[in-house]
Amino acid sequence: MAIPVPREQQVMRERLVKPSWLKVKAPGSPGYLETREVVKSHRLHTVCEEAHCPNIGECWTHHTATFMIMGELCTRRCHFCSVKDGTTENLEPLDALEPHRVGIAVKKLGLKHAVITSVDRD
């Protein structure tokens, strides 16, 4: 049996509709898919993915990404950050070819500049 919703609650719901400029489509543009493929095929990490950035669709559509080097685990454990945390005992060894793969990805994406950051490993 359905419970009737008072008219004032219905009006409140109508008023809480988000404006169209605030609504974002799920990522899936050709630019997004190309960027995702380049990142995955070169076994790279990005802040965009690791930190669950809500703007990933918009940025990757325009071939913009922040590359995260030195692995995907960070030892800092910041409470505001979504990057996976770990300890010095469970960190993978540094990948000597990672800088080369980042360079190839930058070239494939046609970037004029690249943003590169790293996790903490202390």
Q: Give me the number of domains the chain comprises.
A: 1
Segment 51-84, tens digit of pLDDT: 899 889 999 999 988 999 999 999 998 888 889 9
In a domain, 59, yes or no: yes
In a domain, 6, yes or no: no
CB 72 within 8 A of CB 84: yes
Residue 108: pLDDT above 70? yes
Count of other CB atoms within 10 angstroms of residue 20: 6
* Residue 31, domain extent: 27-118
In a domain, 114, yes or no: yes
In a domain, 37, yes or no: yes
Count of other CB atoms within 10 angstroms of residue 56: 21
In a domain, 69, yes or no: yes
Q: What is the pLDDT of residue 75?
A: 92
CA distances from 59 to 28, 40, 56, 64 (A): 12, 16, 5, 5
Q: What is the pLDDT of residue 13?
A: 63
Q: What is the pLDDT of residue 1?
A: 64
CB 60 within 8 A of CB 109: no
Count of other CB atoms within 10 angstroms of residue 97: 10
In a domain, 95, yes or no: yes
CB 38 within 8 A of CB 105: yes
Of residues 110, 105, 102, the one with CA closest to residue 118: 102
In a domain, 15, yes or no: no
In a domain, 8, yes or no: no
Q: Span 96-104, mean pLDDT? A: 97
